[in-house]
């Protein structure tokens, strides 16, 4: 995701420096894009106007921001935009950090949706949480790789919106898996079935983009099962704090856990249908 998003950022005409924990990946990025690869985040010679993050989980972000000396190389009054999906606990840790507060660095929790295809095509959706300071420049930069940017509220609201997004996707994919399995076992022409229902109330992005690949047993389209497990656990933890029982989400999480334990953790999230075959 970050590889392609950083590539789009080069169209902003700003000087782009990229870092990956695998330096070879960062160096590889410079072979196809105009920018510079960073080997270490400690003792950087540059001072940065802004930082974009897109990482796997809370621990990875904590390592980048707090265990390295990256914050020392961020200018006073600059911004940090985190496109990762994280817990609210991490958001609160970042905005309350003494160094970030002292340098008046603006933080935006800005999780994304749209998958790898959205990152490649520059058509991601961004759920932006944070204040108004620096928001105009941040919006302008995000527009290089996103088609839909909604400032949903203060810090934390971006992550809460992403939790809602993942809850919706989980339920949709389980329902689509059951429907496709039902039709296939009834020996229906599923291409005609999809033509008949895809313009009605059953239509969804998942049906439009994943139904055919699910029927063809193809599950190499980006966002992986193991990442969805992480995201749903975050959502369910917040629901628990509200004493809210999200039973469908729990059931789908159990199914994803089963897929992962069976060695399918790297398949995309539409692979739920494999449990019905």
Question: Where in the sequence numbering do the catalytic residues fall?
Answer: 162
**Greatest extent of the chain over all pairs of C-alpha atoms, in Å:** 65
Closest CA to 44 of 70, 7, 18, 23: 70
Burial of 271 (0-12, 13-18, 19+ CB in 10 A): buried
Q: Quick check: 274 and 173 in contact, CB under 8 A? A: no
Q: Quick check: 50 and 79 in contact, CB under 8 A? A: yes
């Amino acid at each position: 995701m970050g590889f392609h998003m950083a590539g789009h950022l080069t169209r902003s005409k700003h000087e782009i420096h990229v870092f990956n924990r695998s330096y070879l990946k960062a160096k590889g990025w410079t072979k196809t894009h105009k920018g510079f690869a960073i080997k270490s985040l400690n003792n950087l010679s540059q001072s940065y106007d802004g930082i974009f993050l897109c990482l796997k989980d809370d621990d990875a972000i904590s390592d980048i921001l707090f265990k390295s000396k990256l914050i020392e190389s961020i200018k006073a009054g600059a911004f940090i935009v985190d496109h990762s999906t994280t817990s609210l606990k991490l958001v609160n840790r970042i905005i309350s950090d003494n160094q970030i507060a002292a340098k008046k660095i603006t933080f935006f929790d800005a999780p994304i949706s749209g998958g790898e295809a959205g990152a490649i095509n520059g058509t991601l959706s961004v759920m932006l949480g944070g204040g108004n300071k620096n928001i105009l420049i941040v919006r302008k930069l995000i527009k290089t790789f996103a088609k839909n940017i909604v400032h949903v509220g203060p810090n934390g609201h971006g992550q809460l919106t992403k939790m809602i997004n993942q809850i919706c996707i989980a339920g949709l994919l389980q329902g689509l898996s059951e429907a496709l399995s039902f039709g296939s076992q009834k020996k229906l022409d599923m291409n005609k079935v999809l033509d008949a229902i895809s313009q009605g109330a059953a239509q969804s992005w998942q049906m439009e983009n994943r139904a055919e690949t699910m029927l063809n047993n193809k599950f190499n389209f980006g966002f992986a099962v193991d990442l969805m497990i992480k995201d749903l656990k975050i959502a369910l933890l917040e629901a628990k704090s509200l004493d809210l029982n999200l039973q469908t989400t729990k059931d789908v999480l159990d199914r994803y856990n089963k897929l992962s334990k069976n060695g399918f953790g790297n398949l995309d999230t539409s692979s739920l249908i494999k449990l019905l075959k």
